[in-house]
Structure 1
Amino acid sequence: MPTPTSLRFRPTLSACALACCAITGTAQAQAPAPVRLGFLTDMSSQYSDGDGKGGATAIQMAIEDFGGKLLGRPIELLSADHQNKADIASTKSREWVDTQDVQLLIAGTNTATALAMGQVANEKKRVLLINGAYSSNLTGSQCSPYWVHYNSDTTAIARGTGRAVSEQGAKTWALLVADYTFGHTLEADVTHVVQAQGGQIVKSVRAPFHANDFSSYLVQVQASKAEILGFANAGGDFMNALKAAREFGITPKMKPVALMVFANEVESLGLKLAGGLMFTDSWYWDRSPEARAWTDRYYARTKKMPTSLQASDYSSAMSYFKAVEKAQSLDADKVMQTLKSMPLNDMFGKGKIEPNGRYVHDMYLLQVKTPEESKGKHDSFKLIKALPGETLFASKQEAQCPIWK
């Protein structure tokens, strides 16, 4: 039989337990909901090395460097593989916004998936940062008040590399083109640049995405007898096509030009195969002391050197965080207004976001070093010259963006 003391003690314990639960419950109820970001890119296919999980790591670094909070709320990153399929990108974006209240969408590689995410961003009024999709139409005829095209685009890389090659005296080009939106836009932009320089595209051959064999397409290109073989493709398609062109003995007769290539692809190809290639990129490891310091931190974390896409993932997220804090709001219209009014200057670049959402920053004409020129591991490029962004990206008149009044 319990004593009077124990009878009196038990209710006291119960009361304490209830009080503690009430306090804990109140604290949990008052804990601010996280600000969620949704990042979709190729995580498993031929573009995954250029962005992929490394891009997610870069964004996470930005979250940590910003302090992990936005407007007093914790920042949380959601990421997924869109498998280069627009329907998956659309469905996942919509799911995140509807069920997780995602405030910011970040588009990695692939123009079609970026456009699919963009439609959700327009409908739900969410900011969309586009880093790995390159079609210049994203800030041209298909522009949106909620999209920022942050990294580069087909107009800029076509002008950067196309002009440089034309200035060396080449007049005739043959193009091997990726047969989807990105490739078609790049083909059109390169054609415009070459013709403006007094040259001619004498042959243009389109090859499907993720082609297994490029021999039949390269035979057509070789038959053109053009001076320049321009690769208007990217990722694994570019690397496999260049390897095949070298194996077939095409490149001694036609000068290979990479219209879009990333640092990781050069490292995968090796300097013996890629040496001498000239290309335009938005960023490289030794762009500045700040870029090198960030590269070293990224490498320490991933054991891989970053690409311009991954640097852009970091920088664009940081710019968004700064704009939200400055606007003191997550409202997409207010954030976009702030982003377009802010001067941007960090480890990625310096410039401004135009009314059509195009971030105008300098680009770099680079050349892959030969094995003899390289001083060691990761010493893969030499800077030919910096290219002012104002001379590369589309002007208001050229862009024909409906919202750029």
Structure 2
Amino acid sequence: MSFRSRVAGAAGLALSLATSVAMSVALGTSALAQDAKAPIKIGVLSDMSGPFADQAGTGSVTAAQLAVEDFAKEAGELKVEIVSADHQNKPDIGLATARRWLDQEGVSTIVDLPNSAVALAVSNLMRERHRVALASSALTSDLTGKACAPTTVQWVSDTWAQGSATARAIAGRGLKSWYFVTVDYALGHALERDATVALKAAGGTVKGSSKHPLNAGDFASPLLSAQGSGAQVLALADTGADMINAVKQAAEFGVMPEMRLAALFVQLSDTHALGLKAAQGLQLASAFYWDRTDGTRAFAKRFGERMNGRMPTENHAGVYSSTLAYLRAVRDTGTIEGEKVVAAMREKPINDPLFGTVTVRQDGRAVHDLFLYEVKAPADSKGPYDYYKLLDTVPGDQAFRPMAEGGCPLVK
């Protein structure tokens, strides 16, 4: 299903973009013909119907709309159009959609990209076509490591940040023997890998690991294996519907309180689906929470008015912020050429209303503070979506993997 929205900028500074189409044989790519009257097209490629639909999905389209509307106040004569599609968590479908958008519909950037396998495939395509990939909902740290690209920016968080922050916090309380239940694709593999590095650095050990397919319904076998391992911590290296089902079934199997539960990637929609009774006491790392500042609350109010009262997840916040930063860079550079746009995003810190000060590194990592939260008990919540209490702030330079350690070939 495709959703389109067109926003015309107010009269003012015109953007001059290339009007000729040229083939570059050496680079194997074609330039996108565009002029000041043609719209900049943003493709929101998301999971609209699967396990990440609540974390991203239609909410990501809404977040992109809000960014385009805010940009219209400063856009001059530049027009912006949004298109969206469901990648169905299949890399081949995501890649085919991205190719169609680039070749037939003139899309200049693709944003959101929940599902790391899809994000990696699309990032590589955008590198080949010299267009920008805004991986705002993709978590694999490989996007700023061995698979980094000069045309990709990864916003919000990644597996290194999530795994490291969670492992350090829990191991610091003496819970150092872990068993992983891991979703069997790029996200889960990276989450387990990055959390294991941090756990071992804190003196911890891994007692074992079980893999499960994406969108699994039955967690009996991995949970029984975890119980029999003797580990202190059951670490869930998955997210969305899989994480929710695993937590619910862990309660049914009586895994807690014998084992402590560590969910390595929890978003607000997941906590909402679990309910505070099941989720209370869960500690998590997040780059965004709707009730943290005046800026986040203002954004959440606008978002909720269009989403039947739902509050935004950090994925939704990432779509808004990365889209707005991209549009400003296009306006300032007068081009949609990916390398030049990303270079402009790196030039100076971005003052973002949702994430605070953001800097984009050479490896494509958008760096900002990360926060440690604990899920409130039901008695402490004032109402729907009042779920988290702040425990600690992790400064951006500590929250994300040091650039020199990621293996990104762009880093010198």
Task: Settle same-fold status: TM greater than 0.5.
Answer: yes
Instruction: Return the structure number with greater helix share.
Output: 1
Q: Distance in 1 between matches of 2:160 and 2:396?
A: 11
Note if 1:87 corresponds to 2:84: no
- The answer (yes or no) to whether the contact 2:290–2:300 under 8 Å persists in 1 is yes
Note if 1:257 corresponds to 2:225: no
SS of the aligned residue for 1:128 comes to strand
- The answer (yes or no) to whether the contact 2:112–2:315 under 8 Å persists in 1 is no
125-134 or 103-112, which moves further after superposition?
A: 103-112
Tell me which residue corresponds to 1:75.
80
Percent identity of equivalent pairs: 39
Tell me which residue corresponds to 2:202.
197
The counterpart of 1:391, out of the listed 374, 393, 398, is 398
Segments of 5+ residues of structure 2 without an aligned counterpart are: 1-34
Tell me which residue corresponds to 1:60.
65
Which digits, 9 at most, give the CA deviation of each residue in 1:127-176, with x for residues without a partner? Answer: 11001110101100010000001110000011111111111111211111
Q: Distance in 1 between matches of 2:361 and 2:188?
A: 24
Instruction: Give the counterpart letter for 1:163 in structure 2.
Output: R
Q: 1:69: Cα distance to partner?
A: 7.8
Instruction: Give the counterpart letter for 1:140 in structure 2.
Output: G
Tell me which residue corresponds to 2:366.
359
Tell me which residue corresponds to 2:239.
234
Q: 1:301: Cα distance to partner?
A: 1.4
74-83 or 338-347, which moves further after superposition?
A: 338-347
Note if 1:322 corresponds to 2:322: no
- The answer (yes or no) to whether the contact 2:352–2:358 under 8 Å persists in 1 is no
Which digits, 9 at most, give the CA deviation of each residue in 1:288-327, with x for residues without a partner? Answer: 1101111111111112111000011000001111111222
Q: Distance in 1 between matches of 2:292 and 2:348?
A: 22
Tell me which residue corresponds to 1:17.
none
SS of the aligned residue for 1:103 comes to strand
Q: Distance in 1 between matches of 2:150 and 2:36?
A: 33
Q: Distance in 2 between matches of 1:134 and 1:85?
A: 16
Tell me which residue corresponds to 2:31.
none
The counterpart of 2:315, out of the listed 309, 331, 335, is 309
Instruction: Give the counterpart letter for 1:330 in structure 2.
Output: I
Q: 1:375: Cα distance to partner?
A: 2.2
Taking the TM superposition and a 5 Å limit, the aligned residue runs for 1:371-386 are 371-386=378-393
Q: 1:351: Cα distance to partner?
A: 2.2
Instruction: Give the counterpart letter for 2:214 in structure 1.
Output: F
The counterpart of 1:115, out of the listed 113, 120, 130, is 120
Taking the TM superposition and a 5 Å limit, the aligned residue runs for 1:4-23 are none
Q: 1:71: Cα distance to partner?
A: 6.1
- The answer (yes or no) to whether the contact 2:349–2:359 under 8 Å persists in 1 is yes
Q: Distance in 2 between matches of 1:396 and 1:67?
A: 34
Which digits, 9 at most, give the CA deviation of each residue in 1:45-86, with x for residues without a partner? Answer: 110000000000100111011117856231000100000011
Q: 1:392: Cα distance to partner?
A: 2.2
- The answer (yes or no) to whether the contact 2:282–2:374 under 8 Å persists in 1 is yes
Q: 1:118: Cα distance to partner?
A: 1.2
Root-mean-square deviation over aligned CA pairs: 1.4
- Bigger radius of gyration, 1 or 2? 1
SS of the aligned residue for 2:72 comes to coil
TM-score by length of 2: 0.89
Tell me which residue corresponds to 1:299.
304
Tell me which residue corresponds to 1:344.
350
